[in-house]
Structure 1
């Protein structure tokens, strides 16, 4: 039997105390699991509620647009019907006159023998007058559409379309509010990369640049990262990729390996970074060395690629910014360090990949294709 020695607790007492501690903590962790499950249910419920509200608003917009279309087309149909009725009346006047002229032509032979010449001249004058008046009143140039009104209706409809396109996708308007500056750090760029003086573009060159050696420079992979990182909130930026056949874009922790031939130096090959890669028309997403092919995007070309990161949501999302087409989204969970913007312009790729990667002003929309 263990007893206290010099006022110290016995082994049994220590074990009993530790057992009680573990039991309490197990209860705490079990309760935490329940609260996490409840949190997931609550978030799902709130998300579904927002989705339903947005769906209903879109249905309302469709109803409003459908009603506006109905009213506009009814207005045009009403004028068309009125014009058609007028044309029919003029054609009827012409038809009645032709009937009268046919009758007169049939009576000419008898009238020559029986009528006085003065009466005949008078009748001829009246006929000529009727013909002249009818031709004057049925002149097609007198029947006009309200072309100004029609042009105004078309112009207003075009303006409405332009306005709607300027507002959608709504995710574009949202992401624009998260627009972040991205300035590339020339001291991290591989020696075969040229960084613009403003740090807003990177270009591959075959020539090894005379640059100072720093522990932060990538010496094997054609990478460069941003000067500043971010560790809270939401960030969105865009990069112009038009005319290129090979590139990689993403984010990375500062701890990404910078030197040596380890595969982790490449974007997305280690657990420190996330990226989307484009090569000869094909797209793939990378993280932790796991490749996710994106076959539905094969052959698609975008002018800009957008990158959205949410620290609260633990998200890294890539989009074709021209149309806000989703490319891939990583659910990263909790970020453990500052995130740096990262990019690789790729090698020359048989002479087809010399253009720069250009950082864009993400607060302004790219052209809609």
Structure 2
């Protein structure tokens, strides 16, 4: 979970933005942002409001969604009187994160400006407690891959593999947690991903497992590709090219470098090899945090520039029927002043030792 020191640091950074823009009050009803600044994680269906004032005082308000003593019909409306009291009448220049804040809350500040873009930019640089939460989620990725590597074989289904991974994640976490990802196997993974199905694993299939678990809100987001059986020489060659593309991206990312330039470099490298040419159709990576995709976005048209404190993914890939599926490899990194620190140590292997 996020720490008091980390939350204070983020509130201080927001307070600096407020002072720069002349805001004396900030309001959000977004539970992710409320967690980001307070360290208190409301339930997904629980109304929440977070306020920060220009003098540094802050409030976190929540409302019940169930009560044994009375029926709760409109919990968001139940929070309104307390929020109205907390807002008071002293704010002259207020800002609201309109993205994710219920309209009945923002309507209390009709003259407020939208702070959504400011919060998005603020989230880009991660504090140590955020990195720690991401590291914990990466531990669940490793548990899932260890289980998958042991069970993947022709004749099983995608659901069989998913169930083995999910059991390993539950055991590692000590409870159920959010465990989503792309679980498509073989040629189904060439242009798609998504939940597992009853599709049977065929001999020679490649199995892409792009996982993004989270105990609270901060995701790990990694990908490994495994062969169902002994890989072909073409699959081994393509795997090596994609692994080299990952290493190319790792060397290229530094503070001050444009994210779009790294994507162009990775794509040019993959297109320079016959076996991977013109099959890499998606982004090369992205930032992660309490949303699965955040800045910096490593793709064409991105204006993002890497800076120390970013936590990113790199995920080049190649796809085609000649491979009987696709290959995607993805690690997570902390951008430092000198380059990248890899946060995920699980080996990149088609099969153990390959």
TM range (shorter): under 0.3
Higher Rg:
1
Please report the TM-score for the alignment, with normalisation by the length of structure 1. 0.22
Q: More helix by proportion, 1 or 2? A: 1
Please report the TM-score for the alignment, with normalisation by the length of structure 2. 0.23
